Structure 1
Amino acid sequence: MHLRIIASLLSILLLSSAGLPEKGPLPEQKPATTETAKPAEKTEKKAKEDPLPSKDEKPAQTSPETKPSPDTPSIETPESKPEPVLTIAPEDGKEYAACLTALKELGATFREEKRIDDGKGCGIDKPLTLQTVLPGITLKPEGKMRCETALELARWTKDAVLPAVRAALENEGPLTTINQASSYICRLRNNAKTGKISEHARGNAIDIASFTFKSGKSIEIQPRDEDSTLAGAFQRAVTATGCLYFETVLDPGSDEAHEDHLHFDVIERKGGYRYCR
């Protein structure tokens, strides 16, 4: 009897030390899949119910409009620049009168003409037609130009050409004719289709083609840099002295367009600069 009681007490002690509950069965564990699935369902549901960003969140950026590259031409057409308006410069009345007086004193003959306006900047405000450069020296053919151009031509002939004739061509007799190739004419420089307007189109220029003497001999303008004759010396002398009277002097050595004449003009340049070649 005592032995059974002792055995029962030992069994109770052993069960208590094993940590088993005194009453009822052990609690059942819930499957892990049930607990992890619920948060995912809540997240998905929230995303459907609340698609808008919160106040602290920045809205998603949409793709910016495509900007044209630097090489892409602009759609807008730029306004075309207006072409410069070429006008005929008015001449000072007092200066013109003084020029006419000086031209008459040199013995030149001429007739005054009406104002020329051929459009596109071509024309002369106070033109004249020069007939004789000096007494006994005809301009052939007669030429239209500004008074200043005619005056410088007469001065050059008197002070430079006639002394060169006496020194180099005295046997040919006096100079009787200066043959011109171009005076006033409405055109661009060197008869080009594009470019700047010629000084001939403003009455500022004259081209000399040859000189004729009483003997009938003519000295034609041509390349003479290596010409060792008196004709060559004469041409080089009158060409060099031309720049004492005209602001621009072009001779056969300047370019192909001037191989057969001397170009003289009275265009004003900054600082009194002269172009002679």
Structure 2
Amino acid sequence: MKNIIVILSALGCIGLLTDARLPDEGPFPAVRPGQSNTAAPTPQLPPIPEPKPERSDADTPPAKQGPPDFSNQPEKQGPKLPSQQTLEEQHLTIAAESDAEHSECERELQVLGVVFKDIARIDDGNGCGIDKPIKVSEALPGIKLKPEAVFRCPVALALARWMKESVIPAASVAAKDQGHIVAVNQASSYICRLRNGAEIGKVSEHARGNAVDIASFSFEKGKDVAVQPRREDPTLIGAFQRTISAAGCLYFTTVLDPESDAAHETHFHLDVLERNGGYRYCH
């Protein structure tokens, strides 16, 4: 009996299985903890580049060019000479001189016996000139200044004092066989030019009437004593030149001698340029 019941139960289960329908899709696997239940992303293809915008004229690189054409440009100007330079470029003006100081200076020249005369104010443009110029024909009594020189009174006064107190005493020892000095030969006094006669650079103190260049000394007899390089000269004349060059700085604020540079190999440059603190340049 029990066997019959088991057989019938088995046949009922088979019937149920026969009528059951399978699902259209199989079961999805369970989502693991921490895992999203979204589908995996579809692989992306590389983006298609957008078409490049058209270039404007400003973006277009310039074409290669040949050598520059200067045919239509103005001709390049050479260095400016003093007559072409403006006051602003050189910061040069004709300094006004005190009437009282000028009168006192001339009085001292007269005491020393300097032969001179006043001349009209000089204005050569571009700041070159002298407010109260004088023309000197004798540096001291009996000592000609050749040729006559034009500068400011302080230059004449410094020259006279240097000659009287240093040059004449030194010459009486170094060249006593040649007698007294009878002339001072100058190479330059007032002139409107740049330093060292250059075409560019600063205006010379000669253009302000502040300087004189001395080339040689003439004696009663014998040859002139020329200013020339004498640093290694072992003679009395060599000692004479070195002595008066050094002494020049007692009277002038600038002394340049033949040992200074090539531009001064043939003369002394002496000037009365005023510097801050009374500084003097002697070389």
User: In which range does the TM-score fall when normalised by the shorter chain?
Assistant: 0.7 to 0.9
Contact 2:253/2:271 (CA < 8 Å) preserved in 1?
yes
Q: How does 1:155-194 map to 2 (within 5 A)?
A: 155-194=161-200
The CA RMSD measured in Å over matched residues stands at 2.9
Q: 1:270: Cα distance to partner?
A: 2.3
Q: Which residue of 1 aligns with 2:280?
A: 274
Go from structure 1 to structure 2 and tell me whether the alpha carbon gap of 1:3 and 1:263 turns closer, same or farther (over 3 Å shift).
closer
Go from structure 1 to structure 2 and tell me whether the alpha carbon gap of 1:95 and 1:8 turns closer, same or farther (over 3 Å shift).
same
Contact 2:90/2:203 (CA < 8 Å) preserved in 1?
no
Distance 2:90 2:143 in 1: 41
Distance 1:2 1:101 in 2: 168
Cα shift readout 1:155-194 (whole Å, capped 9, x = no counterpart): 1111111111222222222211100001111111111122
Q: 1:28: Cα distance to partner?
A: 1.4
Q: How does 1:58-73 map to 2 (within 5 A)?
A: none
Question: Does residue 235 of structure 1 match 2:231?
Answer: no
Q: 1:226: Cα distance to partner?
A: 2.4
**Would you tell me which structure has more helix in proportion to its own residues?**
1
TM-score, normalised to structure 1, is 0.73
> How many correspondences in the alignment?
229
Q: Which residue of 1 aligns with 2:129?
A: 123
Q: 1:93: Cα distance to partner?
A: 2.1
Which of 11, 24, 27 lines up with 1:28 in the alignment?
A: 24
Q: Which residue of 2 aligns with 1:143?
A: 149
Q: Which residue of 1 aligns with 2:10?
A: 10
Question: Does residue 93 of structure 1 match 2:99?
Answer: yes
Moved more, 123-132 or 176-185: 123-132
Q: Which residue of 1 aligns with 2:82?
A: none
Cα shift readout 1:2-21 (whole Å, capped 9, x = no counterpart): 977653322224677xxx5x
Structure 1 letter corresponding to 2:99: G
Q: Give 3-state SS (helix, strand or coil) of 1:83's partner.
A: helix
Distance 1:102 1:15 in 2: 155
Go from structure 1 to structure 2 and tell me whether the alpha carbon gap of 1:172 and 1:6 turns closer, same or farther (over 3 Å shift).
closer
Q: Give 3-state SS (helix, strand or coil) of 1:119's partner.
A: coil
Q: 1:147: Cα distance to partner?
A: 0.7
Go from structure 1 to structure 2 and tell me whether the alpha carbon gap of 1:29 and 1:208 turns closer, same or farther (over 3 Å shift).
same
TM-score, normalised to structure 2, is 0.72
Structure 1 letter corresponding to 2:235: T
Q: 1:208: Cα distance to partner?
A: 0.5
Distance 1:126 1:12 in 2: 149
Cα shift readout 1:85-114 (whole Å, capped 9, x = no counterpart): 321222222211211111111111112122
Q: How does 1:211-226 map to 2 (within 5 A)?
A: 211-215=217-221, 217-226=223-232
Q: 1:256: Cα distance to partner?
A: 1.1
Distance 1:84 1:225 in 2: 35
Q: Which residue of 1 aligns with 2:109?
A: 103
> How much identity, in percent, do the aligned residues show?
54
Distance 2:14 2:20 in 1: 18
Distance 2:96 2:103 in 1: 14
Distance 1:3 1:232 in 2: 159
Structure 2: 5+ residue runs without aligned partners?
Answer: 29-37, 43-58, 60-87
Contact 2:90/2:202 (CA < 8 Å) preserved in 1?
no
Structure 2 letter corresponding to 1:25: R
Contact 2:94/2:130 (CA < 8 Å) preserved in 1?
yes
